[in-house]
Structure 1
Amino acid sequence: MARKSRKNKKQCMEMVQEPIHYYAGIYARLSDEDIPSQGSSIENQILIGRNFIEEHEDMDFVDSYIDNGQTGTHFARPAFLRLMEDVEAGKIHCIIVKDFSRFGRNYLKVGEYLENIFPCKKVRFISVNDNFDSNFKGKQDDLIVPLKSILHDSYAKDISKKVSTSIDVRKKSGNFMGGKPPFGYIRSQSHPHHLVVQREQAEIVKKIFCWRLQGLGVSNIAARLNDMGIPTWRKLNSKRPNQTDKGLWYGSTVTNILKNPCYLGCLVERKTEKVLYKGGVTKVIPKENWNLIEHTHEQIISGEIFYQVQRLMNQRPI
């Protein structure tokens, strides 16, 4: 494997000549979790890069590539992809960042770019605050770069855990942290994270549970609601009401209502988990591991009716 790697590097050296004069691009990144006051503001990052270029006669500034609100744990960022397109086109020979954390927080990917991709394309990489210049790598850099990248990766995981914990705490305090309220509820005008009953929709929810107890299947319930002209949540919240809307009731829509413990006056903690340090990947938590937070808002369905419906739905196909 080692011999193959050296061969690939040799081929890259033969295909791309080392530039004498460098056309430089400054890459700046700020995620939603970063604190600009710590000196990592976009403006400060650009200023550091421009000052560095002005101090070096072998460099010309070409462009700034800015990813604002983008996590450093993956590299599918709009400005970074544009930067790499300019590298491929030969417009950029040197990439300058404030520090390694602005470039990325995934130490495996950072190492891949620094050790393989950039050398192959003869791209000079400079991290100003880390005193790192790929043209002047020493033996200690082989240790320092991976070590700093690992620390940045650990920091991203720690931030992800803190954000998830903060959301859980707010849920336990009765705050609804979902994107849209379930059918039958709206957000309180005085407290946007508190659910209040929407009376007309709540009556429809009660009918749905009643029909199911009477033996009506979810597809038949959906058909009945469509025949009655009852608007779905999607229909009610359509941004283009004049356009023909396809927001019809379906069996799956009815099933989601019948299985939602929110109608008991409960919120579900940890139904899903967003793993921020993996680029916002959503992880589904098994139902048996859900935690119900009771009495967070007014209930629409009694516990007796709700659990009768759950037993009925688990007994046979509907």
Structure 2
Amino acid sequence: MRRSSELSPPRKQIRAAIYCRVSTDERLGQEFNSLDAQRECCESFIAARKLEGWTALPGKYDDGGWSGGNVERPALQRLLADVDAGRIDAVVSYKFDRLSRSIKDFALLLESFEEKGVVFVSVTQQIDTSSAAGRLLQNVLVTFAQFEREVISERTRDKIRMSKEKGKWLGGCPPLGYDRAKEGCALVVNEAEAARVRELFTLYVQERSLLRVAQIANARGWRSKTWTTKKGAQISGREFTKTSLQQLLVNPIYAGRIAHQGRTHKGQHSPIVDDRTFAAVQRILEEGRRRPVGRGPNANAYLLGGLVRCAACGSTMTTGTTTKGDVRYRYYVCVRAKKLGAAACPVRSVPAPELETFVVNRIRALGRDPELVAEVIERTKHAQREGIPPLRAEDRAIAVELQRLKNEAARLVAALAGPGDGSATACGKLADVERQVEQLRARQALIREEIAALSKATVDEADARAALECFDPIWQHLTLEEKTRLVRTVVERVEFDGRAGEIEIRFHPLGLASLAEELTATPEPPALPKGATA
């Protein structure tokens, strides 16, 4: 007679992976932290199902200090890779929002689990996707989780608006002339710095020149705000530039007001500058903005605008004009010298026609010199090969910084639950974090577009040679707009060294490929008039 165990089919083993996550890393150094608590709870759940064949996988999938707003988390990515490889039969989590707080991401994750035959279980919410009821409850809970995030976001914006309307300063770096109060989130006047601020306003009314006032301030050894963060980091002041000085002069906080979304509200802090002086400065600045500088038929006649760098100091060179009588002279001007004065850089400017003529003649000569063509093509290919790794490195660095900012945002959202000034400070910092995230995402999109373009681009030597040979004959027949576009297609950067009298042209890795495609394309022959013969 057979034993009962021999009559029963072998029970299938279910390999269960435990996923744990916390949004902040503040208490991860403790002997028993939140991740440990989540794992222990999940292990108890799996142990209770041991007779059903469940067993906990030894590997840890823990994301400590990572937001649940996206799926770009290292442990989660390892988990998904193991799911794809067929090494996991079930994913167990303390709560469903440990896996994701986004409806879209959560649905996609569950869809990928289902395709691989993987079950998801939320221990504390009795969600088991192996049943229809569990899947229904799971979708309802995820919907409410996203609703909660949107409500928090709306409350944050409302709290910022109401705090600003009440004239509250919401934190960050105090403006020059003010210090942060020892208790709460408020501004108190720093009399030594305030005297300098008043002097800057007075100087501008007298001089009516941002550059001149910045030079005077720097000569006196004045700097922007030096302050210490709550974490003890020292932020040193910097020299004044035209831009930083203008930002100081237009800041309504010095007139005792708080700005928000284009409007100002009476602040709870003491003003440093009287209304009359502040209004006078704004009128002078507005007059400067209205003055038609560099406008006219030649205002945009810069073939190399945005491409020229000063080799002497490493700064960019912007466009500028001077007028003597009826003649307008165009220049490329070192930005550092323009902001800080002639003493800041030995190379102040270079006449635009001379620099543009040199660059254009250099490009036109390429088609007549086979060795020069080969050299440029080889340098272009090298630049293309060398251009991708640093872009990818920057992309990874941005991803890390974005995650840090998301974790910081999660911490600030949690702080909003607290009453009083601490909550107001969190509102201001959260707005700054959101602005930084937006800027980083825009930069990341540009980087990824450039990586994709560099990866796909090819520089065919024959086509590039033919394109460069076509460049010289057609140049004289192009309009100014066409010439500018063509130069910008080929040239990535022009390094001007006024001390050594040298000019280096760096060709764009994608420029020769684009130029070859454009200039070597065979146009369709024009239609002959009716009755005419070829």
TM norm. shorter chain > 0.5: yes
Indicate the residue corresponding to 1:127 in structure 2.
Answer: 122
Give the corresponding residue for 1:26: 19
2:257 alignment counterpart? 266
Give deviations 1:259-281, integer Å, cap 9, x for gaps: 1111112223xx4xxxxxxxxxx
CA offsets 1:30-70 (integer angstroms, 9 cap, x no match): 579xxxxxxxx6565333212112223322243251444x5
* SS of corresponding position for 1:316: helix
Aligned ranges for residues 48-87 of structure 1 at < 5 Å? 48-57=41-50, 58-62=54-58, 63-68=60-65, 70-77=66-73, 79-81=75-77, 83-84=79-80
1:67 and 1:80 in contact (8 A); partners too: no
User: Partners in 1 of 2:277 and 2:141 — Cα distance?
Assistant: 57
Aligned partners of 2:221 and 2:83: how far apart in 1?
Answer: 57
| C-alpha deviation, 1:28, in angstroms | 3.1
**Cα contact 1:23–1:91 (8 A) shared by 2:** no
Q: What residue number does 2:179 align with?
A: 186
Q: CA deviation at 1:94?
A: 3.5
| Mean CA deviation greater in 200-209 or 124-133 | 124-133
Structure 2 Cα separation of the partners of residues 178 and 87 of structure 1: 45
Is residue 227 from structure 1 mapped to residue 219 from structure 2 by the alignment? yes
Count of residue pairs brought into register by the alignment: 265
How far 1:141 moved relative to its partner?
5.0
1:195 to 177, 187, 193: 187
Letter in 2 for 1:149: V
Whole-Å separation in 2 of the counterparts to 1:183 and 1:21: 63
Aligned counterparts, 1:90-239, within 5 A: 94-115=90-111, 117-120=112-115, 123-134=118-129, 136-138=130-132, 140=133, 143-172=136-165, 174-189=167-182, 191-234=183-226, 239=233
Contact 1:72–1:104 (CA under 8 A) maintained in structure 2:
yes
1-side partners of 2:80 and 2:225: how far apart? Answer: 43
Write the letter of the residue equivalent to 2:21: A
- Is the CA contact (8 Å cut-off) linking 1:25 and 1:92 kept in structure 2? no
Question: 2:282: which partner in 1?
Answer: 310
Q: TM-score, normalised by structure 2?
A: 0.44
**1:22 Cα deviation (Å)?**
0.9
Work out whether residues 30 and 42 of structure 1, in 8 Å CA contact, stay in contact via their aligned partners in 2: no
Kept after mapping to 1: 8 A contact 2:68/2:102: yes
Residue 482 of structure 2 corresponds to none
Structure having the higher Rg? 2
Query: Structure 1 residues 111, 192: CA separation in 2 closer, same or farther (over 3 Å shift)?
Result: same
Q: Percent of aligned positions with the same letter in both sequences?
A: 24
1:299 to 271, 280, 283: 271
Higher helix share: 2
- How far apart, CA to CA, are the structure 2 residues paired with 1:228 and 1:236? 23
Unpaired segments ≥5 residues, structure 1? 1-18, 33-40, 272-284
1:50–1:61: 8 Å Cα contact kept in structure 2? no
> Aligned partners of 1:88, 1:250: CA distance in 2, in Å?
55
Pick closer, same or farther for the CA change 1:240–1:305 going to 2, 3 Å.
closer
Could you say what secondary structure the match of 1:231 adopts? coil
Write out per-residue CA displacement over residues 253-303 of structure 1, whole angstroms, 9 at most, x where no aligned residue: 1111111111112223xx4xxxxxxxxxxxxx4x2xx3x331411100111
> What amino acid sits opposite 1:212 in the alignment?
Y
What is the Cα deviation at residue 208 of structure 1?
1.8
Alignment-derived partner of residue 39 in structure 2: 46
Counterpart code for 2:272: I
Inter-CA distance 46–214: structure 2 relative to 1 (3 Å threshold): same
Q: Is the 8 A contact 1:46 1:64 kept in 2?
A: no
State the alpha-carbon separation in 2 of the partners of residues 297 and 240 from structure 1.
24
What's 1:35 paired with?
none
State the structure with bigger RCO (CA 8 A, min sep 6), 1 or 2: 1
Judging changes above 3 Å, is the alpha-carbon distance between structure 1 residues 239 and 44 closer, same or farther for their aligned structure 2 residues?
closer
The answer to whether the Cα contact below 8 Å between 1:30 and 1:102 also exists between their aligned partners in 2 is no
RMSD: 3.4
* Equivalent residue number for residue 13 of structure 1: none
Q: Choose the corresponding residue for 1:247, options 232, 238, 246.
A: 238
Structure 2: state its 5+ residue gaps.
Answer: 1-11, 26-33, 292-534
Q: Is the contact made by 2:103 and 2:146 (CA closer than 8 Å) also made in structure 1?
A: yes
User: Under a length normalisation based on structure 1, what TM-score does the superposition of the two structures give?
Assistant: 0.70
